[in-house]
Amino acid sequence: MTTTTVSPQTSQETINLFQLGCLVNLRIRMWGGRKLLTRQDLLKVGLDPDKLPSDLCNFGRKLLVSKAELDVLTRLAQSARNCLDKWSIPFPISNAHFIANKMIPTVEAQLKEIQKEYNEAVDSFIVRFSEMRDKVRQDHPEFWEKCLKNCYPSTPEILRSKYSLDWFKFRVAGIDTEEVTTEEIIAQEEVKKERMGELRSQMQQEVGNFVEQYVQTMRGETIKFCELLSARINGKPYGDEEEPKKLTGRALSAFQKYVDRFKNMNIFGDSEVEKMLNEFRDNFLASETTSEDFDNSMVKDSATQALAAIRKLASEEGEEASSFINQLKRKIII
């Protein structure tokens, strides 16, 4: 069985990575609401730091408002990161994530919803900030007076400027130089050309490694899903579970959604894995399928065998898998 079929989006000769997708960077800023708990703080409230066992105690942080208030915004920021992680693969340059073109509208729509909720939460936080600060002062007057009162942003505007949740998209267009006319630069032209060649080669290698990581990540997810569904179908523990969990409609729905995810993110033409995933969904996960259908021994055995075959293909290493990866690497241009 071959896995060298090239996606219809790509040329038989080369694959321009940034015609298949783009890079996305999240930009999240957030007031931490915390300050370092210092040695001086302890002295102010009558504790001698020298009497604490140094091998058991160290200085930590003091919260300026309640942890519950801070956690609301932290969870929204994490939701944005999770959204990006779900539909992308980490890219080795610029701390970015690579997203296939067809998934960009979906990711941006989800990020915009999170951004709206985040901004509303920030506005609510700022409106209520004086109340939160006053509550800390009332609940802990001595600690406030000695250790907290000078730690807060001085105005709501300053506090608001510490929050943002945004993202930007970009593509790597290669490494190029701009012509200049000074004699000094002209004299260094050969050195610069050599350096540019080195940088281009390094970039090409990084992108080639990314392509390999992309395919391996997608296949690794496929292996996990196959193992999870097979365990549920056969009533066996998955991973480090102590007890097996029942097969549910939710598990079947999750696998259906995973097949769609693989198809949407399969930009490098890993066609045989995609074909087998589609066949499994068509044969075993029709819209009317329920978890009870897998109580039938013939259905259970057939589904288990099909999942094992998909897992085997996705975990192939050998010459055939290496050939597929190496062909992709040779075709990639930036």
Residues 280 and 316 in one domain: yes
* pLDDT for res 129: 94
Nearest in space to 137 (alpha carbons), one of 124, 157, 152? 152
Q: Position 207: which residue type?
A: V
Tokens of 98: 């690579």
* pLDDT for res 56: 54
Residues 163 and 28 in one domain: yes
Indicate the number of domains in the chain: 2
In the chain (334 residues long), the average pLDDT of successive 10-residue segments reads 40 74 91 85 78 65 89 96 93 84 91 97 95 92 88 91 92 51 46 59 73 89 94 92 91 92 90 94 89 92 95 77 72 67
Residues 165 and 203 in one domain: no
Alpha-carbon gap, residue 276 to 282, rounded angstroms: 10
Range of the structural domain that residue 265 is part of: 183-191+199-333
Residues 129 and 231 in one domain: no
* pLDDT for res 255: 92
Residues 90 and 141 in one domain: yes
| pLDDT tens-digit series, residues 92-133 | 777 889 999 889 999 999 999 999 999 999 999 999 999 999
Residues 134 and 26 in one domain: yes
Residues 33 and 157 in one domain: yes
Residues 157 and 211 in one domain: no
* pLDDT for res 4: 38
Alpha-carbon gap, residue 44 to 35, rounded angstroms: 16
Residues 158 and 208 in one domain: no
Q: Where are the beta strands (DSSP E) in the chain?
A: 15-16, 21-29, 34-36, 61-63, 89-90, 97-100, 164-170, 332-333
> Is 178 within the bounds of a domain?
no
> Is 111 within the bounds of a domain?
yes
